[in-house]
């Protein structure tokens, strides 16, 4: 796939790949990523018309993905606002599938996968740069904190700032940073060239520092699980780094330590709020076990289960738990399909990691396992994959991992 984009047929795979580079770069910044994504889809459909369905590769988890798409579509039947749920379904699950299939199909070489990861990392650098600039403007940051109620001021009176950059709020940004850290750390471990290893170390350290500044406690715990994955799969000596946590907490008495230790306090209001939402969401699931309350309709239905929220006029978009949120939205069968698809990627990433001799693919495999683990752990106390940017980033990364597996599978079968 060489040569200028302008000298090739408009429907060439090269052009589709170029559009995918633009999509993954734009994901954390703007919803305009839909423009190159839709164009890539139209070009791919034209190629299917010319070459047949054999043009597309869907991946080894196609049954689970198709089952989730069907269940989430059928859940619209139960939505109080069916038009909204259908519209939301088209822009989220359907577009997940489009981006995923396009990457699995057209990221068909090591160079393309490498360039996709470079596009992700380039975007991550800009997210960090903008976020640091934003973080240093303390007056504007304090205004944002107060306007969005991102922290309990009575519990954390000295916490004036939280890093969030272009990702709408600190918790969404934290999940994005977790995903990027999972991969940058994995590539750092396997990189042999000194200059590239140094750059990856700087990138990983920058991501970790920015992650700390989000003050997202669930994300901090998830970061420890990334390290645990590295220790289990790469080198058990990495577990020694976990000893730094109590040392840092003992000697550093700043807001990071205060925020972290608050996890173990019975007085923490956000933890109590979550338990209340979880109980109410379980009631919601018991009332709609098969199809859920409708894709994206959680915020419309939840007030029926929480009188205080209804009286206060507060909007609750999700259950602050990934597992309960998915079940509430699409029902138990849909949730089974979703998590079959979600956790199924660990199996294929592990195969890529174990069987590949190429360190690039080993890093992809390890990074994918770490990212799935981190988001799964973070999902116990939050549901950040409801965000368009965060979820699209996640499924694009999973598609790169699946594409790597499909490529390795074809190589083994030759």
Residues 6+ apart with CB under 8 A from 199: none
- Neighbour tally for 243: CB within 10 Å: 9
Residue 3 confidence (pLDDT): 47
| CA pair distance 402, 146, nearest whole angstrom | 42
- Closest CA relative to residue 179, chosen from 400, 402, 390: 390
Q: Please report which residue ranges of 234-321 form alpha helices under DSSP H.
A: 244-251, 255-261, 269-287, 298-301, 307-312
- Closest CA relative to residue 28, chosen from 128, 142, 145, 162: 128
Long-range contacts of 385-388 (CB under 8 A, 24+ apart): 385/175, 385/322, 386/317, 386/318, 386/325, 387/167, 387/168, 387/172, 387/175, 388/31, 388/91, 388/92
Task: Tokens 């070009």: give the residue.
Answer: 43
Residue 139 confidence (pLDDT): 60
In order along its 414 residues, the chain shows pLDDT tens digits of 444 444 457 778 899 999 999 999 999 998 999 999 999 999 999 988 887 767 788 899 999 999 999 999 999 999 999 999 999 999 999 999 999 999 999 999 999 999 999 999 999 999 999 999 988 876 665 565 554 555 555 555 455 678 899 998 899 999 999 999 999 999 999 999 999 999 999 999 999 999 988 988 889 999 999 999 999 999 888 888 887 777 665 555 455 555 555 555 555 567 778 888 999 999 999 999 999 999 999 999 999 998 878 877 788 889 999 999 999 999 999 999 999 999 999 999 999 999 999 999 999 999 999 999 999 999 999 999 999 999 999 999 999 999 999 987 656 554
- Closest CA relative to residue 366, chosen from 404, 340, 336, 396: 404
Residue 4 confidence (pLDDT): 47
CA 272-273-275 angle, to 5 degrees, is: 65
Q: What is the tally of structural domains in the chain? A: 1
Hey, what are 394's tokens? 């996640």
| CA pair distance 53, 45, nearest whole angstrom | 9
**Whole-number Cα distances in Å, 71 to 123, 294, 327, 379:** 33, 10, 11, 21
Contact (CB, 8 A) for 322 and 385: yes
Domain boundaries, position 408: 5-413
């Amino acid at each position: 796939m060489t040569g200028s984009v302008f000298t090739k047929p408009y429907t060439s795979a090269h052009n589709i790949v170029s559009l995918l580079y633009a999509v993954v770069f734009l994901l954390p910044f703007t919803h305009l990523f839909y423009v190159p994504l839709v164009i890539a889809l139209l070009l791919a459909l034209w190629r299917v018309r010319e070459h047949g369905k054999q043009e597309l590769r869907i991946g080894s988890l196609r049954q689970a993905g198709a089952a989730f798409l069907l269940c989430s579509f059928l859940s619209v039947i139960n939505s109080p606002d069916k038009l909204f749920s259908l519209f939301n379904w088209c822009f989220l699950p359907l577009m997940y599938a489009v981006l995923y299939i396009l990457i699995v199909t057209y990221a068909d070489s090591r160079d393309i996968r490498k360039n996709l990861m470079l596009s992700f990392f380039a975007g991550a650098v800009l997210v960090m740069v903008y976020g640091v600039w934003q973080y240093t403007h303390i007056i504007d940051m304090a205004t944002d904190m107060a306007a969005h109620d991102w922290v309990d001021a009575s519990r954390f009176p000295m916490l004036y700032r939280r890093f969030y950059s272009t990702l709408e709020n600190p918790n969404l940004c934290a999940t994005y940073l977790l995903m990027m850290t999972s991969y940058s750390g994995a590539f750092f471990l396997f990189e042999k060239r000194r200059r590239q290893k140094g750059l990856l170390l700087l990138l990983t350290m920058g991501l970790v520092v920015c992650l700390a500044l989000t003050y997202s406690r669930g994300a901090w715990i998830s970061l420890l699980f990334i390290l645990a994955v590295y220790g289990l799969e790469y080198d058990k000596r990495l577990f020694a780094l976990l000893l730094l946590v109590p040392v840092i907490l003992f000697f550093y008495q700043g807001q990071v330590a205060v925020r972290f230790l608050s996890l173990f306090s019975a007085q923490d209001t956000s933890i109590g709020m979550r338990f209340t939402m979880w109980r109410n969401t379980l009631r919601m699931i018991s009332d709609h076990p098969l199809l859920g309350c409708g894709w994206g309709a959680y915020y419309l239905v939840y007030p029926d289960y929480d009188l205080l929220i209804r009286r206060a006029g507060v909007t609750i978009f999700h259950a602050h738990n990934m597992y309960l949120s998915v079940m509430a939205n699409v029902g138990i069968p849909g949730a089974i399909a979703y998590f079959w698809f979600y956790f199924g990627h660990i199996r294929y990433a592990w195969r890529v990691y174990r069987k590949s001799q190429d360190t690039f693919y080993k890093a992809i495999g390890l990074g994918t396992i770490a990212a799935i683990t981190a988001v799964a752990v973070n999902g116990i106390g939050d549901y950040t994959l409801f965000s368009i940017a965060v979820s699209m980033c996640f499924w694009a990364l999973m598609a790169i991992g699946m594409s790597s597996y499909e490529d390795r599978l074809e190589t083994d079968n030759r």
